[in-house]
């Protein structure tokens, strides 16, 4: 009987122990570093889908599978924490560290990672939750205003990407944008990245940070890290938004009654061919009433003990506010990581495919120009429904007809795939092998039907973006079509060895590697055709054309230099030395060899060195209570620029030179049209950077300040030369220098954090001074300056707006100096000798008139939470820059008001003033602005039911208002390229966006 009792006792004791192992209730509270509770924090049992969220008081209760389970606690803005239960304790108080001030934050720096506390270089990191909200398909827009020194300008055109310039322009070549690295793959087209898949973006600014990428890093490097799966949790997420956009501003053009009153007052009259008694708002006629947008993103992630996966699919559709413009994109992404050999080997597979469709406005810039210059007394359509036209009047085209009778479409398919392997070796070594392949296929088509034949090809000019000058466009006979298909491929193999070792107080991290890259560009074809039997074939069947019957028609087979093959071979090394986490030193070197440069200069070396002193670690700082962290940084390095040049830049090329008359007939001429330059070499950009980082008030306030001096030498440009020395008359050569000096500052403040309310604010500001310090070459015959940017508005032939000049910045305005009106009411100008004249000479009587370069840029981000509500308010500003409002000048022609519309504020101008419209300082305006760029209000429902872990809804409004004195459509005029700050009848209107979205986590 006693034995039976003992057996029953053992049975029930074992059952009790087994029950404890199967189900244990754990309670607790989650707090921040100020011991304030965190509501809606996530508590997950590791290795399971068992999770809960905390209540308003930060409290939680969860039943775990066993008493030794591991909990993973996460909350936005704080670092995740893993808590291993001790098997006895059942109630915990868990304190999370704020990620915004955590010095252990990991930063991607190229061929490796590092903690922010040990950085010796200038790097700004932006997390996913800090990126801009809105209808965004471009990484540049995500970062706009978020990074000190990063100048991002955008238009309302959904088919056009942002212009991104970091720390001022470094070259006179067209390519001034940063070099992008996505998940370790260099040179990736960032359009393949869905914003919802991004984890962090690290912006590498100084040469000590970017030199590891050598000749591609002169304009800065942006590292994008996308999401990966976790072995600790399986998760399905869905996000969606839909919204609409309207034009935020339009030019104030005269309506029919205003223009009729003006012409009557000044004894002018419309021609009967134009005046049909209409009152047409042509700007409104080419616009959609409300352009719709929608986005969907579905992702799945998870894993096990020896691997993880992440997969997503994103779809974006965005209508442009301009009729005929649309954009859609589908992105599929898969990332898989598998571990083997006791997790010493990690194999990664990363595949992304992006398919995009761009519907462009046919003859877009001409449509924009005609929409403001067309007379309001002309109707859109005749009574019979056909389009109204006056084919007699020069350059008078119905903009709505231009849109409806043309097609301009582009389709792209962008594939990026990579295989990575990382092997952990003894003694702190690890070996990495990365192989990637990128393939971009582009299919483009244009069709202008037989309607376009009615326009006089002798007066139909295009309206290109500056600095290009307008040219005549011929639309053939009975319709014209263009079709091309090109493929670009990029293959990269990179192999590098890392070493991470600690010897007492000494820590060493080193990397040495090799990179091989081959690009094949423009592998495809192009053809044009004309004379189609019907209009509705568009560009889809060129075989139906009969171009051979059109006298003199020549098929355009595209650029003879479209096909290119380029190769880049590199070796690189970096060494980081750390003594007691107090004294930090970094050195890098990269050797690049590129096939695009002269045979005598195909190899370049790009070194850098950086150091940091963590002052807060010194003994004399231990008693103070002000600084939690204080670090001084200094660095110097050289990087290069190889973008903007092609495989033929340094080579001698012969080709067709037209015809000449010989023996009674025209004979084709053939000869040199590009000079060889075997000495062409890299542009080199050297940057010196001094910075300080500090955190005070127990992590409540953190800030960084950087001062830099960036100098570009051997700047490449297409110089005019003596034809006796170089028969072509031009040569691409090294000869110019450019300087950028500036200061950047960022301030992060956790201003308020209570039980129910919090407010954090982030402010960044920057100042940059740009200057062309040299523009000469031994062969250059043009002196130290080049006049350029010629919009060629009516009556403005030969008038340029800007100048490349030694001692002046890129974007220096150089034009006539307006001096008011003389006694006869005629506009007058300051001549070269200082006298006043009403007949100024183009070029001769020009004066320097300000710069398009901003003196100061500002970003101010505010985040508020109240219980389950969250609110983001983001302001962005640019100050001290000038804009040449060529659009205003071209619409300021009172003498032609009977044939072309004018601005409302030209009502007091006299038609007798034939100088009123001349490009001059009269049309240079202050481009400063402050914009409420984003306002987002959200509500987090937390866990809903058994399967839905989180539901958040939000409303976002973009571009709510802008404070500016600029009289144009919008002051955010193009800041990239070599003609910044010119508003020239080509500005796609900015929009105001309203959207509603939802995020769901299962």
Give the pLDDT confidence score for residue 775 in this predicted structure: 86
Q: Is 9's pLDDT higher than 70?
A: no
DSSP-derived secondary structure for 944-971: ETTTEEEEEEEEEEEEEEEEE---SS-S
Cα–Cα distance between 46 and 182 in angstroms, integer? Answer: 29
> Has residue 68 got a pLDDT over 50?
yes
Residue with tokens 């505010």: 862
The better pLDDT of the pair 110, 955 is held by: 955
Pairing outcome for strands 683-696 and 730-753:
unpaired
Name the pLDDT band for 56 (thresholds 50, 70, 90).
low
pLDDT at 260 (0 to 100): 95
Alpha-carbon dihedral 642, 645, 648, 654, rounded to 10 degrees: -150
CB atoms within 10 A of CB 25: 10
Q: Exposed, middle or buried, 888 (CB in 10 Å: 0-12/13-18/19+)?
A: buried
Query: Both ends of the chain: CA-CA distance in Å?
Result: 55
pLDDT 10s digits, 345-383: 999 999 999 999 999 999 999 999 999 999 999 999 999
Q: Is the pLDDT of residue 102 over 90?
A: no
Sign of CA dihedral 918, 921, 922, 923: positive
Token reading at 839: 């007949």
So what's the pLDDT on residue 79?
Answer: 73
pLDDT digits 0-9 by tens, 811-840: 999 999 999 999 999 999 999 999 999 999
- Region of residue 942 (phi > 0: left; psi between -120 and 50: alpha; otherwise: beta): left
Residue 97: predicted pLDDT: 75
Per-residue pLDDT reduced to its tens digit, 286-336: 999 889 999 999 999 988 888 899 999 999 999 999 999 999 999 999 999
Q: What is the mean pLDDT of residues 982-989?
A: 90
φ, ψ of residue 214 in degrees (nearest 5): 55, -120
Q: CA–CA distance from 785 to each of 185, 208, 644, 981 (Å)?
A: 40, 33, 21, 19
Query: Is-contact 163 975, C-beta < 8 A?
Result: yes
Other residues' Cβ atoms within 10 Å of the Cβ of residue 557: 12
Amino acid 21: pLDDT: 43
Order of strands across the sheet that contains 836-837: 818-821, 827-830, 836-837
* Residue in the structure block whose two tokens are 């308003």: 56
> Per residue, what are the HEC states of 623-677?
CCCCEEEEEEEEEEEEEEECCCCCCCCCCCEEEEEEEEEECCEEEEEEEEEECCC
Name the token pair of 541.
């069947």
Confidence of residue 20 (pLDDT cuts 50, 70, 90): very low
Confidence at residue 623, expressed as pLDDT on a 0 to 100 scale: 82
For residues 882 and 794, is the Cβ–Cβ distance under 8 A? no
Q: How confident is the model over 928-932, as a mean pLDDT?
A: 97
Closest C-alpha among 484, 464, 480 to residue 472: 464
Q: What pLDDT score was predicted for residue 18?
A: 43
Q: Dihedrals φ, ψ of 611, to 5°?
A: -140, 155
How many residues belong to the chain? 1002
CB of 669 closer than 8 Å to CB of 724 = no
Buried b (16+ CB within 10 A) or exposed e, 243-256: bbbebbeebebbeb
- Reduce the DSSP state of residue 880 to 3 states and report it: coil
Which is nearest to 923 in space by CA: 982, 986, 857, 848? 982
Across the range 185-206, mean pLDDT stands at 91
Here the tokens at position 973 are 């005029």
Average pLDDT, stretch 7-30? 57
Q: How sure is the predictor about 19, in pLDDT bands with cuts at 50, 70 and 90?
A: very low
Residue 957 token pair? 């409004």
Please identify which residue in the block is written with the tokens 């004894």. Answer: 267
> What is the structure's pLDDT at 691?
95
With contact defined as beta carbons under 8 Å apart, do 498 and 423 qualify? no
The mean-pLDDT minimum among 96-105, 843-852, 945-954 falls in 96-105
Whether 205 has a pLDDT exceeding 70, the answer reads yes
Distance from C-alpha of 570 to C-alpha of 592, rounded to nearest angstrom:
4
d(CA 526, CA 512) in angstroms, rounded, equals 44
Nearest to 681 by CA among 589, 602, 784, 769: 602
Question: What is the reported pLDDT for 8?
Answer: 42
Outline where DSSP puts E strands in 425-505: 429-448, 480-503
Average pLDDT, the chain: 89
Cβ atoms of residues 870 and 878 within 8 Å? no
What is the percent of the chain with per-residue pLDDT over 90, rounded to a whole number? 62
Token pair in block for residue 783: 């002196």
Per-residue CA distances from 283 to 286, 405, 989 (Å): 6, 18, 10
Structure-block tokens of residue 876: 């962005």
pLDDT of residue 537 exceeding 80: yes
pLDDT in tens, 749-762: 998 888 889 999 99
Of 782, 777, 847, 842, nearest in space to 808 by CA: 847
Predicted pLDDT of residue 174: 67
Residue 615, pLDDT score: 93
pLDDT at 513 over 60: yes
What pLDDT digit, counting tens, does each position of 413-451 carry? 999 999 999 999 999 899 999 999 999 999 999 999 999
Q: What is the pLDDT of residues 774-787, one digit of tens each?
A: 987 766 766 788 89
Q: Residue 427: what are its φ and ψ, rounded to 5°?
A: 65, 30
Q: Which of 120-134, 372-386, 595-609, 783-797 has the highest mean pLDDT?
A: 372-386
401 in Cβ contact with 389 (< 8 Å): yes
- Is the Cα dihedral 473, 474, 479, 482 positive or negative? negative
Q: 90-123: b or e for each residue (b if 16 or more CB lie within 10 Å)?
A: eebebebbbbbbbbebebbbbbbebebbbbbbbb
Measured in degrees and rounded to the nearest 5, phi and psi for residue 198 equal -85, 135
How many CB atoms are located within 10 Å of the residue 922 CB?
Answer: 22
- Tell me what pLDDT residue 34 has: 64
Who wins on pLDDT, 119 or 826?
Answer: 826
- Of the pLDDT bands very low, low, confident and very high (cuts 50, 70, 90), residue 665 is confident
Contact 803, 811 (CB under 8 A): no
């Amino acid at each position: 009987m006693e034995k039976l009792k003992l057996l029953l006792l053992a049975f029930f004791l074992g059952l009790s122990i087994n029950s404890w192992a199967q189900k244990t209730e754990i309670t607790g509270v989650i707090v921040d570093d100020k011991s304030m509770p965190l509501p809606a924090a996530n508590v997950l049992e590791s290795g399971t889908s068992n999770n809960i969220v905390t209540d308003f008081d930060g409290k939680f209760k969860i039943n775990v599978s066993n008493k030794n389970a591991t909990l993973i606690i996460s909350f936005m803005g704080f670092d995740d924490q893993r808590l291993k239960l001790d098997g006895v304790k059942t109630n915990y108080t868990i304190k999370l560290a704020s990620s915004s001030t955590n010095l252990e934050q990991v930063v991607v720096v190229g061929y490796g990672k590092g903690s922010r506390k040990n950085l010796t270089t200038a790097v700004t990191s932006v997390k996913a939750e800090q990126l801009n909200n809105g209808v965004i398909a471009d990484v540049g827009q995500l970062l706009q205003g978020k990074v000190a020194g990063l100048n991002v300008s955008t238009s309302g055109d959904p088919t056009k990407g942002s212009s991104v310039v970091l720390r001022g322009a470094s070259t006179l070549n067209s390519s001034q944008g940063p070099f992008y690295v996505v998940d370790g793959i260099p040179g990736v087209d960032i359009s393949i990245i869905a914003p919802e898949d991004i984890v962090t973006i690290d912006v590498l600014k100084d040469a000590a940070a970017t030199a590891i990428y050598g000749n591609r890093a002169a304009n800065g490097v942006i590292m994008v890290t996308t999401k990966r799966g976790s072995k600790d949790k399986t998760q399905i997420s869905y996000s969606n938004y839909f919204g609409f956009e309207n034009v935020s501003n339009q030019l104030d053009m005269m309506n029919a009654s205003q223009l009729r009153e003006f012409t009557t007052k000044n004894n002018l009259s419309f021609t009967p061919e134009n005046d049909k008694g209409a009152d047409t708002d042509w700007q409104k006629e080419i616009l959609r009433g409300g352009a719709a947008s929608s986005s969907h993103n579905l992702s799945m992630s998870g894993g096990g003990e020896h691997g993880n996966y992440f997969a997503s699919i994103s779809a974006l559709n965005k209508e442009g506010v301009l009729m005929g413009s649309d954009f859609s994109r589908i992105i599929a992404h898969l990332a898989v990581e598998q571990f083997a050999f006791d997790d010493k080997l990690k194999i990664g597979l990363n595949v992304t495919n992006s398919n995009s469709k761009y519907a462009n406005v046919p003859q877009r810039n001409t449509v924009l120009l005609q929409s403001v210059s067309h007379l309001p007394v002309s109707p859109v359509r005749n009574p019979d429904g056909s389009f109204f036209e006056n084919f007699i009047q020069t350059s008078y085209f119905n903009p709505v007809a231009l849109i409806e009778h043309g097609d301009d479409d582009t389709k792209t398919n962008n594939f990026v795939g990579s295989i990575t392997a990382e092997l952990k070796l003894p003694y702190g070594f690890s070996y990495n092998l990365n192989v990637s392949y990128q393939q971009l296929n582009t299919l483009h088509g244009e069709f202008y039907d037989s309607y376009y034949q009615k326009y006089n090809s002798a007066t139909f000019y295009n309206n290109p973006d500056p600095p290009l000058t307008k040219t005549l466009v011929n639309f053939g006979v009975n319709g014209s079509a263009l079709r091309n298909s090109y493929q670009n491929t990029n293959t990269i193999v990179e192999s590098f060895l890392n070493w991470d070792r600690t010897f007492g107080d000494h820590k060493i991290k080193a990397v040495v590697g090799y990179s091989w890259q081959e690009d094949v560009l423009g592998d495809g074809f192009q053809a044009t055709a004309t004379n189609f039997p019907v209009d509705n074939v568009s560009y889809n069947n060129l075989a139906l054309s009969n171009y051979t019957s059109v006298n003199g028609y020549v098929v355009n087979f595209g650029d003879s230099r479209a096909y290119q093959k380029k190769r880049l071979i590199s070796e690189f090394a970096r060494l980081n030395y750390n003594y007691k986490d107090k004294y930090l030193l970094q050195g890098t070197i990269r050797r690049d060899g590129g096939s695009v440069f002269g045979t005598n200069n195909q190899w370049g070396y790009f070194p850098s060195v950086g150091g940091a002193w963590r002052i807060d670690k010194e003994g004399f700082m231990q008693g103070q209570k002000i600084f939690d962290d204080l670090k001084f940084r200094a660095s110097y390095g050289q990087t290069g620029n190889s973008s903007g040049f092609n495989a033929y830049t340094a080579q001698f090329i012969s080709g067709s030179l037209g015809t000449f008359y010989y023996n009674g007939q025209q004979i084709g001429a053939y000869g040199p049209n590009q000079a060889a330059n075997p000495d062409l070499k890299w542009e080199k950009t050297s940057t010196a950077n001094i910075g300080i980082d500090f955190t005070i008030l127990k992590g409540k306030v953190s800030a960084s300040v950087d001062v830099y001096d960036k100098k570009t030498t051997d700047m490449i440009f297409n110089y005019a030369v003596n034809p006796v020395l170089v028969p072509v008359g031009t040569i691409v050569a090294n000869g110019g220098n450019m300087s950028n000096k500036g200061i950047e500052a960022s301030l992060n403040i956790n201003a308020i954090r209570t039980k129910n309310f919090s407010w954090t604010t982030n402010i960044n500001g920057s100042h940059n001074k740009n200057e062309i310090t040299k523009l000469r070459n031994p062969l250059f015959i043009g002196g130290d300056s080049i006049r350029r940017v010629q919009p060629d508005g009516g009556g403005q032939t030969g008038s340029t707006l800007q100048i490349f000049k030694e001692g002046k910045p890129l974007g220096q305005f150089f034009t006539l100096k307006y001096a008011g009106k003389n006694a006869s009411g005629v506009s007058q100008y300051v001549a070269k000798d200082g006298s006043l004249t009403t007949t100024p000479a183009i070029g001769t009587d020009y004066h320097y008139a300000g710069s398009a370069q901003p003196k100061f840029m500002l970003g101010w981000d505010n985040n508020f939470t109240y219980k389950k509500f969250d609110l983001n308010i983001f302001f962005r500003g640019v100050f001290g820059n000038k804009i040449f409002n060529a659009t205003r000048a071209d619409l300021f022609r009172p003498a032609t008001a009977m044939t072309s519309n004018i601005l409302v504020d030209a009502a007091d101008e006299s038609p007798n003033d034939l100088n009123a419209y001349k490009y001059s300082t009269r049309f240079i305006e202050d481009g400063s602005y402050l914009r409420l760029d984003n306002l987002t209000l959200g509500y987090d429902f937390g866990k809903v039911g058994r399967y839905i872990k989180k539901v958040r809804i939000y409303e976002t409004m973009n571009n709510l208002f802008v404070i500016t004195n600029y009289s144009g459509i919008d002051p955010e005029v193009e800041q990239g390229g070599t003609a910044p700050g010119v508003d020239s009848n080509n500005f796609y209107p900015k929009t105001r966006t309203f959207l509603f979205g939802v995020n769901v986590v299962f």
